[in-house]
Amino acid sequence: MNHISHWINGALVAGTSGRSGAVFNPATGVQSSTVDFASVQEIDAAVAAATAALPGWRATNLSRRAEIMFNIRNLVQSNRNEIATMLSAEHGKVVTDALGEIARGLENIEFACGIPHLLKGSYSEQAATGVDVYSIRQPLGVVAGITPFNFPAMVPMWMFASAIACGNTFILKPSEKDPSVALFLAELLKQAGVPDGVFNVINGDKVAVDRLLEHPDVAAVSFVGSTPIAKYIYETGTKNGKRVQALGGAKNHMLVLPDADLDMAADAAVSAAYGSAGERCMAISVLLAVDSVADALIKKVQERIPAITVGPASDSKNEMGPLITAEHRDKVAGYLAGAAAEGATVVVDGRTNVPADGFFIRPSIIDGVKPGMRCYDEEIFGPVLNVVRVKSYAEGVALINDNQFGNGVALFTRDGGVAREFQFDVSVGMVGINVPIPVPVSYYSFGGWKNSLFGDHHMYGPEGINFFTRSKVVTSRWPDPRTSSVDLGFPQNR
């Protein structure tokens, strides 16, 4: 059986804690690997390696850092098929979906290739007589990223690309459910010229997470995962004096107005609800249908579901794979099982006619959903679309704004004025207008509002650069010695 260990100081390092976890192929339900779980001492070794590498990497000139980022980009691009196959075997998503994930991650590496420009400061000449003032951005030091199972390639690239380009050293703690991609990326970074110790991978569980959050030499932690854990990461990390960005869960709504193209809206709802088996924080999980078009829209969505091919990624005809674990599959199935008792109706039940092996649930629809029901209030994180019928635009927006989450939202309409009003009205961090999954491009930043984000910085893009650096302002004077004198008054500029 395959054995997965750690990457510390530029090399694979076998675990010594005696603790490990099982990694499964979700499409078959068969264990494929064991992964070492790091001890506190192993975390400390990774931090020590990152700390030792920091002075040299921080002093590396921006042109060389940019060259290395270009090398990383080219190596990831040339190895994308191998990464996708590896990712699919542990996560379960189909290969085309995995390739799309890699492509979006690559955009963040490409953004970081512009680091000489991104770290440009500002300069004010003659701020006072003979005095110039300028600002610079400098790295924080040793930083860590804790990433989720659902995007084992893309989310690490969201974090480490900006972090190391800015001159930090980085420790990645990937999900223990699909850790192999992280180690493969570590090998690629070494080939690209990243010095030993600049990028490290530690596998593990809560022991590893807690040590990173409390270690005095870790300056910042970036996290993506569920809301309860995001809150814990933020509170624990900040209590220990760290800068923290922690992205949590979501309940993304899609409001369809009567003037919308219903075929386009139905296509979008199916794509956004069931892609990657619904295991993504930007999935559409609530369809807000205005009463006058609700029946027609639901019918169109329902008609599209039988055409979705569900099965293992080994068959290239399949469009949707399994869920990550048997436990998660059973949890998702529980929302379908409990819907009727809460007054909702399961219109399409994905628990039936599933492949015999693996952790599968087919696309599902629950109609008649209302706030207060578990299937509405909680993040399901699976291929289940909740339908909430609303009387008007105003009622739909009120539901969106009342929800505890504020990650993504979409509006489908032909009315530009209403669309502009919508983006002004909604309390959500990422808004799509006739776009169901409004994940920002790499030169903007990703992040929600309310219980979808803990911290002040969104992920990647300009805010990612700001998160992984701190500003310094320098005030300088090179006076003529003949003008020097003692002055005990408060400094003035005029």
Catalytic residues: 281
Using CA atoms of 202, 204, 210, 212 in order, give the dihedral in degrees to the nearest 10.
0
Sheet containing strand 30-36, strands side by side: 2-4, 30-36, 20-25
Burial category of 289 from C-beta neighbours within 10 Å (exposed 0-12, middle 13-18, buried 19 and up):
buried
Distance CA 282, CA 438 (A): 8
Distance CA 337, CA 359 (A): 17
Cβ proximity of 405 and 450 under 8 Å:
yes
229: left (phi over 0), alpha (psi -120 to 50) or beta: alpha
Distance CA 302, CA 346 (A): 12
Distance CA 25, CA 322 (A): 9
Number of alpha carbons in the 13 Å side-chain half-sphere of residue 37? 16
Cβ proximity of 58 and 195 under 8 Å:
no
Supply the Cα-derived Rg of the chain in whole angstroms: 25
Closest CA to 134 of 146, 125, 145: 125
Non-local CB neighbours of 490 within 8 Å, separated by 6+ positions: none
SS (H, E, C) 318-330: CCECCCCCHHHHH
